Structure 1
Amino acid sequence: MNSKVDHRKPRLVFFQWDHQPNANAAGYLLLHMQQQVKCLATHFDVVVVNRDCDYAEICDRYEPDLTLFESGYRSHGSRRIKITNTTTNIAVPKLGLHNADPWCDRRAGFLSDMEQWGIETYFAIATMTPEYMPAVKENLFVWPNFIDPEVYHDYGQQKVIPVTLTGQAYGLYPWRQTIFPIIRDRYPCLVSPQHAYESKLASRLLSGEAYARALNASLVAPTCGTMGGEVVRKHFEIPGAKSCLVAERTAAVESAGFVDMENCVFVDSSNVVEKLDYLFAHPDEIRRITAAGYDLVHSCHTLTHRPQIYQWFMLSKGLQVGERIIQSGPFGELAKVGRTSMQQSVHIVGEASDRALLKQGDLLLEQGRVEDAKHCYERCLDFVSYLPEAKFRLALCALQEGDADRASGLLIDLVKVTMTDYGAPDPDPVEWAYFLLALICRGQLKQASKLQDFYPSLFHDEIRRAHLVIAQLGGSADAVVPRSDGSDRKSVHQLPDRTDSEWLVWFTDILERCQRPDLANGLRLATLGGSAAGENTKAPHFEADAGLRLRLYSGIDGLMVKLRLNGLRPNVPPLPEFRYFWHLARGLVPHSQRGSLRKIQMALSRPPRSIRN
């Protein structure tokens, strides 16, 4: 009996954001998204879904073997799609794709998406992502950047440009900030303008074949992988277009196979002129290094050399109970090992400048040197102005200094990025827990109590501790949330390892610093004597206007719940800081009429003419 062999590719449904062409966006961003689909298509029959949809209906229609969900993108005109009903079709394996920089402030949104969609295994395009999301690194693999050889190859251009300088060179790129001016002042250069992704001028930047041809006509082109020591697309595009790569030496770049003076040139500010003078005086050396870099990229780093997602799919199909999947390196293959094996996925750690500053600041904060710690965290913001870890730690510093208002403001901003800017179903659990604690430090215990269950599915040990404080200060120790069972929501933040007793001592001290001696004494008594707290804690004081306003917000939100209008209820806390009424109105207005709503909002927020003039 003859049996037919099924040679069809497995079907992958890729839930990709709506990356429609934008007249003001950089053209290469859209090309990157198209090339990702092209890469997946080397191993899968790919169906792209980039619209709001019902997961069950999509699975019924396309019968996928695997589904992949893009998430965590820092939108530059792209729209995050809404996907419902993801708890169905449990036989179809699901993967998450973190398609963003490892330090991105949408990571909390990514983790929220993964929880909502029931996804426990993730891929990232950045080699350093495991360093920036250690809470999930055991289930995180790298699907690294690559080139499309149909775009990046040898066009046979005459080498008429000594040096091409492309890419941004602001604080995120300290190596470029130092190296680019040195090169620009000494050698003839083709210099591309540094337009931001969101700039209306970004569409004028070279992209695709035009960019590849410019590189192909250049002898050398420098780039770096940001303060994070990342491997960016330029590391492959430059040698892939047969130009000599000049770069910063990092562990990630070396892991991609680059070797100094063999297939690239590693430089720093002390030797860049010496090395380039040598190369320009020895054209045979440039040709040799350029050819070797070209061979490396086209033999290891094109879209045909990125099978990691396909490998995971094939390995997972036959995975036994006592087995797990690991990756041999950020550019390596995936393999099965025994669950008790000592082998782990190989990640790159310890190279990022902001991580070093965070660790230094944490040590200083632990020693009580708050001002020095703040300096470290603020230096992180010089690299990335929106870095969540630095902003959260500055909020901790503010609490240490007794400035609950500043702490609250920083935490509100963090929650708003995830909830409003990104549109996640819930915030980072640690940020939410400390927002509740900051409310208490401002004397708003009742408000914290009302908000503590606003996100009922958000579990974390720090939220449990916030609930513990609220219960004890409110004299309701019986309402304490039970100890975490290990199903905590993952967070982008790591906190000192403290017992509950140690933590309560710390927070009692914070209350004292924030001029809340009544609450500090109440918590101290509750810790020592249980429910006696209710008899010794004064109710928090509110100004009349503030109390009335807060009651109005809470009352409207409670009414929405009573009327069973949860579908229209905003997913932000009922507070003016989160623009609750704006979100409520937005939910009530049809999508087609939201332009008018925005005009009204702008008119209301516009200062009077006399002030503007």
Structure 2
Amino acid sequence: MNRKADHRKPRLVFFQWDHQPNANAAGYLLLHMQQQVKCLETHFDVIVVNRDCDYAEICDRYEPDLTLFESGYRSHGSHRIKIANTNAHITVPKLGLHNADAWCDRRAGFLSDMEHWGIETYFAIATMAPEYMPAVKDNLFVWPNFIDPEVYRDYGQQKIIPVTLTGQAYGLYPWRQTIFPIFRDRYPCLVSPQHAYESKLASQLLSGEAYARALNASLVAPTCGTMGGEIVRKHFEIPGAKSCLVTERTAAVEAAGFVDMENCVFVDSSNAVEKLDYLFAHPDDIRRITAAGYSLVHSRHTLTHRPQIYQWFMLNKGLEVGEKIIQSGPFGELTKVRRTSMQESVHIVGEARDRALLKQGDLLLQQGRVEDAKHCYERCLDFVSYLPEAKFRLALCALQEGDADRASGLLVELVKVTITDYGALDPDPVEWAYFLLALICRGHFKQARRLRDFYPSLFHEEIRRAHLVIAQLGGSADAVAPRSYGRDRKSVHQVPDRTDSEWLVWFTDILERCQRHDLSNGLRLAAFGGSAAGENMTSPHFKADAGLRLRLYSGIDGLMVKLRLNGMRPNVPPLPEFRYLWHLARGLIPQSQRGSFRRIQMALSRPSRSKHP
């Protein structure tokens, strides 16, 4: 396709997931995706590609000036598209879009996608994303939530609803859990049901204009930004529809320009009733605050006020050696500065409740107070039941307690989320490294050694150390592993800063706690005594992992390699806990017949019923 001579806007190809497949999904989810495209169209000629495709062919066809890749979404039924040949057209700049909550358990999948697609600069819709992905925060910018002013506006509705309560109010929303019952028990309220995103009833929830009109007919509507202190769309939708925003005071909300009793109302459990009673008794004040909130949102937070991706594109075109791009704040503009300057992007830090608990737990674990540390990490799961950082740290606690099986189970769950549920090409590097270590702690050394290079492009300092342990315990000539094999893959996890010697002391202690005394002695001898530990291969612990079932899995995988059928091998380790044989069989069955295969598999997995009572 030739570029038209009168083409004025730069052309952007947006590789967006196919968000249409799930007809039962909440309507507002699909609207959000459509509004993102509409926002991009403010500055770009946008071509949306939401099917499996070849990047080179797409670039040849559309000749884009910029490409944007959606990634890290927590599906809710949407289809994650596959994109081949992303190493083509290297002159076309590429950006990643983390279109998810900052704490999402698909972050490792996002980082894997970015690595394999050759993308080094990212945007996120969550203002707290840099706090949750510190490894990439220097290359991470915020493209924050916004409203479509054609939908969220003043419809002139009569204010017949005192309070409207919408949105989820479970553990992720502690402020709502406290405030919603207070309001519901004291004031007449319009209460929207709390259907899950994937529920068949989710499609019945108010969305779009109907939702905006309900807000427009309400005097006040409360919302919060979750335990993470985030800015969610409701923060803008409520005042954007000319209702008075009642919310929790957070740094993100204040960064957006909200000021208590000027354009919104900040409340907590101690003053919520007092403030609302005052507002209802002073209608002039509530009208003033509502009008100011409406003015703030429509002057700063509509889709026309989100030029950050366009700004990056324009700045990057003229970026010179020795310059970098920074963002003045989560809602701020992007600018160029010298790399030698002290200026960095301004991020919001220190507000998220789970981050505080993780830090507290880390300090307790460092002091050897494992039970207290576990309590902190488990409290994080009360907010987000799937939080990867909390589960990973609980695996570390299990190792400290000598429970290698428990640690391995937690790490298997984490790896499966990324490579099976999300479909990434490889897992988080730190999770993979510690899974290998947990295998060794269970006495499954041979499996750990076989799996050492299962993900050959996955590099990280912790993987190097796991490889070092495997080499030393196996008596390998490569017992002194190189510092790294390539560029370290970014991880969602932060591990204690230790030297190799300190780390080896720590792991030998873990082996002792897991009752692997021969391995501990062998590693201590190899690491600090200068001799190999190959003689440990004959120990009972090494023999214990050579069971028929594990050998069967490894043998089948090895046969696939010998027959040069690598393209048909599952992207999961050849172990029963990863359902290797199921994935292998599924891969060998044509796409058209997989529905029947799935039904057979489900039938076989059901417990049999006895013919006798």
Summarize deviations over 1:388-415 as a string: whole Å, max 9, x none.
0000000000000000000000000000
Measured in 2, the distance between the counterparts of 1:31 and 1:523 equals 57
Note if contact 1:123-1:141 (Cα within 8 Å) is conserved in structure 2.
Answer: yes
Aligned amino acid, residue 41 of structure 1:
E
Q: 1:5 to 1:561 in 2, by over 3 A?
A: closer
Assess if the C-alpha contact under 8 Å between 2:14 and 2:69 holds in 1: yes
2:444–2:544 CA contact under 8 A, matched in 1: no
- What amino acid does structure 2 have at the position aligned with 1:164? T
TM superposition outliers: structure 1 runs of 4+ over 6 Å: 542-546
Structure 1 residue 246: deviation in Å?
0.1
1:404-483 alignment to 2 at 5 Å? Answer: 404-483=404-483
The alignment partner of 1:396 has SS state of: helix
Determine the structure 2 residue equivalent to 1:75: 75
Structure 1: give runs of 5+ residues left out of the alignment.
Answer: none
Q: Match of 1:161?
A: 161
Residue 372 of structure 1 aligns with an amino acid whose one-letter code is D
Letter in 1 for 2:121: T
**Partner in structure 2 of residue 9 of structure 1:** 9
Confirm or deny: 8 A CA contact 2:52 2:81 kept in the other structure.
Answer: yes
Q: Does structure 2 retain, via aligned residues, the 8 Å contact 1:53–1:84?
A: yes
- Show the counterpart of 1:64: 64
Q: 1:220 — aligned with what?
A: 220
1:195-241 Cα deviation digits (max 9, x unpaired): 11011111110000000000000000000000000000000000000
Taking the aligned partners of 1:445 and 1:520, their CA distance within structure 2 comes to: 13
Q: Deviations over 1:351-388 (max 9, x none)?
A: 00000000000000000000000000000000000000
CA–CA separation in structure 2 for the residues paired with 1:478 and 1:389? 32
Q: Distance in 2 between matches of 1:65 and 1:498?
A: 44
Structure 2 segments unaligned to the other structure (5+ residues): none
AA at the equivalent of 1:442: R
Amino acid at match of 1:357: L
Q: Secondary structure, in 3 states, of the residue corresponding to 1:226?
A: coil
Give the aligned residue type for 2:160.
V
- SS in structure 1 of the partner of residue 331 of structure 2: coil
Equivalent residue number for residue 170 of structure 1: 170
Aligned to 1:101: 101
Structure 1 match to 2:529: 529
* SS in structure 1 of the partner of residue 13 of structure 2: strand
Equivalent position of 1:356 in the other structure: 356
1:467/1:480 contact within 8 Å kept: no
The CA distance in 1 between the partners of 2:239 and 2:177, in whole Å, is 22
Alpha-carbon distance in structure 2 between the residues aligned to 1:54 and 1:533:
49
Aligned residues: 610
Residues 415-472 of structure 1, C-alpha deviations (whole Å, 9 max, x = no match): 0000100000000000000000000000111110000000010000000000000000
Q: Distance in 2 between matches of 1:333 and 1:574?
A: 48
Q: What residue is the counterpart of 1:41 in the other structure?
A: 41
Quote the Cα distance in structure 2 between the aligned partners of 1:16 and 1:612: 54
Partner secondary structure for residue 567 of structure 1: helix
Distance 1:538 1:401 in 2: 26
Contact 2:223 2:245 in 1 (8 A): yes
Q: Offset at 1:481? A: 3.3
In structure 1, the residue corresponding to 2:336 is in which secondary structure? strand
Q: Does the residue aligned with 1:123 lie in a helix, a strand or coil?
A: strand
1:143 CA drift (Å):
0.2
The one-letter code matched in structure 2 to 1:74 is R
- Does 305-314 or 535-544 show the bigger shift? 535-544
Give the 3-state SS of the residue equivalent to 1:278 in structure 2. helix
Deviations 1:451-501 (A, max 9, x none): 000001000000000000000001114254310277100000000100000
The Cα of 1:189 is off from its aligned counterpart by 0.1
Pairing of 1:233-248 with structure 2 (within 5 A)? 233-248=233-248
Q: Is the 8 A contact 2:443 2:544 kept in 1?
A: no
1:88 corresponds to:
88
Alpha-carbon distance in 2 for matches of 1:207, 1:478? 60
Match of 1:260 in 2: 260
Cα deviation, residue 610, structure 1: 3.1
Map of 2:588 onto structure 1 = 588
- Check whether the contact 1:146–1:303 (CA below 8 A) recurs between aligned residues: yes
For the 8 Å contact 1:166–1:191, the answer to whether it is kept is yes
Q: Which residue of 2 aligns with 1:343?
A: 343
Match of 1:561 in 2: 561
The amino acid that maps onto 1:592 is: S
User: In structure 2, how many angstroms separate the alpha carbons of the residues matched to 1:119 and 1:346?
Assistant: 22
Q: CA deviation at 1:24?
A: 1.2
In the superposition, the TM-score normalised over structure 2's length comes to 0.98
Which aligned pairs between 1:4-403 and structure 2 lie closer than 5 A? 8-20=8-20, 22-403=22-403
The verdict on how the C-alpha distance between 1:490 and 1:374 changes in structure 2, with shifts beyond 3 A counting, is: same
Q: CA deviation at 1:538?
A: 4.2
Q: Distance in 2 between matches of 1:477 and 1:408?
A: 28
Q: Per the alignment, do residues 220 and 21 of structure 1 end up closer, same or farther by CA in structure 2, a change over 3 Å counting?
A: farther
Indicate how the Cα distance of structure 1 residues 154 and 21 shifts in structure 2: closer, same or farther if over 3 A, else same: farther
Per mean C-alpha deviation after superposition, the further-off stretch among 379-388 and 566-575 is 566-575
Q: C-alpha distance in 2, partners of 1:414/1:540?
A: 30
Equivalent position SS for 2:196: coil
CA distance in structure 2 between the aligned counterparts of 1:478 and 1:132, rounded to whole angstroms: 36
Secondary structure, aligned partner of 2:46: strand
Q: Give, in angstroms, the shift of residue 142 of structure 1.
A: 0.1
Q: What is the distance in 2 between the residues matched to 1:13 and 1:436?
A: 40
Query: Which shifted more, 107-116 or 196-205?
Result: 196-205
Residues in 1 aligned to 2:575 and 2:459: alpha-carbon distance in whole angstroms? 22
CA distance in 2, matches of 1:177, 1:294: 26
> Match of 1:133, as an amino acid?
M
Is the contact made by 2:96 and 2:123 (CA closer than 8 Å) also made in structure 1?
Answer: yes
Contact 1:518–1:538 (CA under 8 A) maintained in structure 2? no
SS for the counterpart of 1:530 is coil
What is the one-letter code of the residue matched to 1:597? F
Query: Is 1:444–1:540's contact at 8 Å kept on the other side of the alignment?
Result: no
Deviates more, 1:247-256 or 1:544-553: 544-553
Q: Distance in 2 between matches of 1:225 and 1:40?
A: 25
8 A Cα contact 1:476 1:531, kept in partner: no
Cα distance between partner residues in 2 of 1:434 and 1:539: 23
Aligned-residue Cα RMSD (Å) equals: 1.5
The normalised TM-score by structure 1 is 0.98
Q: Aligned partners of 2:590 and 2:359: how far apart in 1?
A: 47
CA deviation digits over 1:39-67, x for unaligned, max 9?
00000000000000000000000000000
